[in-house]
Amino acid sequence: MLVNGDGRVFVGRRIDNKEGDWWQMPQGGVDEGEDLDQAALRELAEETGARPEHVSIIDRMAESVRYDLPEELIGKLWGGKYRGQEQVWFLARFSGSDEDIDLNAHDPAEFCDWKWAEPEHLPELIVPFKKRVYRAVVEAFRELV
């Protein structure tokens, strides 16, 4: 969860989701042997272009969060290898300006558009099967945002 100085959260519209007006927070995988904090900062830089000097990790959820794909997506996403994800969520503060966001910082880009959103609106913006995850993330970081 990347939060700006106004307490709003970065969300992006995925390039590969043409079936709805869904927005999500940056997320990504951890390379073998990679430290979770470093993975979070790397993925954030790849997906948003936010440079490390503009990002400070504030907190990490105590428990990981899991979700399962809906039946209609199993076998279609992630090369058919996975049925869901287990995620470790971080809260990070962004000290840069909007001009420091660069969705094309990594090839291929993951997002085609982005905006700052109010934290309480996040569950309304995400695909339905991730709403429970987003509610948990908002609740975990509510006091720190």
Structure confidence by residue, pLDDT tens digits, 69-106: 887 777 766 666 667 889 999 999 999 999 999 999 99
What confidence score (pLDDT) does residue 106 get?
93
Distance from C-alpha of 123 to C-alpha of 120, rounded to nearest angstrom? 7
What confidence score (pLDDT) does residue 20 get?
74
What confidence score (pLDDT) does residue 80 get?
63
Q: What is the extent of the structural domain holding 15? A: 2-141
Phi, psi of 103 (to 5 degrees): -65, -15
Q: Is the pLDDT of residue 16 over 90?
A: no
Buried b (16+ CB within 10 A) or exposed e, 60-74: bbeeebebebeeeee
Structure confidence by residue, pLDDT tens digits, 22-66: 999 999 999 999 999 999 999 999 999 999 999 999 999 999 999
What confidence score (pLDDT) does residue 6 get?
97
Which pTM was predicted? 0.92
Give me the mean pLDDT over the 4-32 stretch.
92
Q: Work out how many domains the chain is built from and give that number.
A: 1
What confidence score (pLDDT) does residue 11 get?
98
Q: Is the pLDDT of residue 129 over 80?
A: yes
What confidence score (pLDDT) does residue 78 get?
60
CATH number of the structural domain spanning residue 63 = 3.90.79.10
